[in-house]
Amino acid sequence: MDNLEKMDKEYVFGTYARDYTHFTRGRGARIYTNDNIEFIDFSSGIGVNSLGYANKGLVEVISTQAGKILHSSNLFLIEPQARLAKKIVELSGYKMKVFFSNSGLEANECAIKLARKYGENKNRFKIITLKNSFHGRSIATLKACAQDKMHKHFSPFPDGFIYANDIKEAMTLAKEDGKVVGIMLELIQGEGGVRAFDKNEVLELSQFCKNNDILLMIDEVQSGIYRSGEFLASQVYNISPDIISLAKGLAGGIPIGATISSKDVFEIGDHGSTFGGNFLSTSASLYVLDALDSYKKSGDLALNIELFENYLFELKNNFSNIILDVSGLGFMRGLRLINDEVLANILNLAKKHRILVLKSGNATLRFLPPINISKDEIIEGFSRLKGVLLEL
């Protein structure tokens, strides 16, 4: 055991099944160990490094801002925060306002508070979430996850969450319970098997919510920021949610979260964040969104998503004995496998073949590459993954 591993085990809480591979630098979708061993990264820090590693423009923006102001306070005007809010709203196409925080769970906490405040005068406070959902690890967002395994050890939890097996049951439960203020879902379930919900069902849910004054709350912590091929997966589904939560790829690796909503019910003191939306995170995010917006407009994003998808289906066809299906949308994809044992074996062999991939629920191999991953990196990554499957 080297000194760093020993130090980590001695001083850091053991909450992660940590792999002690020691990465020290990266470029694009390639990341290197302290021994200069190169990996292709199809995980991008679990969907965070939207521009890959060491993007020159992002490095320059971060360095420049660090030489000016990293942080002041939300009690004062923060120019890049105002500009970023405007940029997010314009890219979304919705008439909304933005609250900035530091992570996905904080963005979802804000969404829950916003919904509760909206329903206060109507005596409605319950929120319906869907089976296999994941919305965060705070006490409230943990309870919002419709997974029994997430609810061990930490009770008592706050009341007001109802679980539905699917969208149709969610609408039925909302009809039966007059206390429901919102229905919250991930359009593509990241932890739940990279499952993309049926577009017609989502459209039906959207209309149901509008007809019954129930808030449609879309968790885009993982599916947002061009991962679906559009700025928001909500745009792919052609819906207009009442509340959307964002995080992960929004600032290319700098912690940030955002809650955007058409329901402007918060008043001074209703919510806050010390670090949320500071100079550093919002400056970085402005650069990321400008870069990805240009990338999408060039047509290269769509071409690379198509290439990535073609390789996934090629693997499914060539290894049909272990791969059941391709799931997800855009650059948020999964390979549904025959069982969890095969998934574990692939993850073990992937390290040997120098390719980084992720696991998801329902025996699914998950892919979250950098949004701007190059054609060459895609080809090389799948060559290595094919080597994994051939050895398996």
Domains, the chain:
60-297 (3.40.640.10)
- pLDDT reported for residue 365: 98
Q: Which burial class, exposed, middle or buried, applies to 173 when counting CB atoms under 10 A from its CB (0-12, 13-18, 19+)?
A: middle
Cα 220 from Cα 248, distance rounded (Å): 9
| Chain Cα centroid distance, residue 388 | 26
**DSSP letter string over 287-328?**
HHHHHHHHHHHHTHHHHHHHHHHHHHHHHHHHTTTTEEEEEE
Q: What is the crossing angle of helices 79-92 and 279-298, to 10°? A: 30
Beta strands per DSSP E along 3-156: 23-27, 30-33, 38-41, 97-101, 126-130
- pLDDT reported for residue 191: 87
Residue 117 dihedral angles phi and psi, to the nearest 5°: -65, -40
Residues 99, 281, 273, 244: what is their CA dihedral angle, to the nearest 10 degrees?
30
Q: Which residues pair with 332 in a beta bridge?
A: 329
Q: Which burial class, exposed, middle or buried, applies to 131 when counting CB atoms under 10 A from its CB (0-12, 13-18, 19+)?
A: middle
| Chain Cα centroid distance, residue 304 | 20
Predicted confidence (pLDDT) per residue in 34-80, tens digit: 999 999 999 999 999 999 999 999 999 999 999 999 999 999 999 99
- Residues ≥6 apart with Cβ < 8 Å to 14: none
- Structure letter (DSSP) for residue 178: T
Helix (H/G/I), strand (E/B), else coil: 365: strand
- pLDDT reported for residue 1: 58
**Does residue 370 contact residue 49 with C-beta atoms inside 8 Å?**
yes
Model pTM score: 0.96
SS (H, E, C) 272-295: CCCCCCCHHHHHHHHHHHHHHHHH
Cα 258 from Cα 351, distance rounded (Å): 34
Residue 373 amino acid letter: I
Regions of the chain with pLDDT less than 70: 1
Cα 297 from Cα 114, distance rounded (Å): 33
- pLDDT reported for residue 142: 93
Q: The dihedral of CA 373, 377, 383, 389: what is its sign?
A: negative
**Does residue 280 contact residue 65 with C-beta atoms inside 8 Å?**
yes
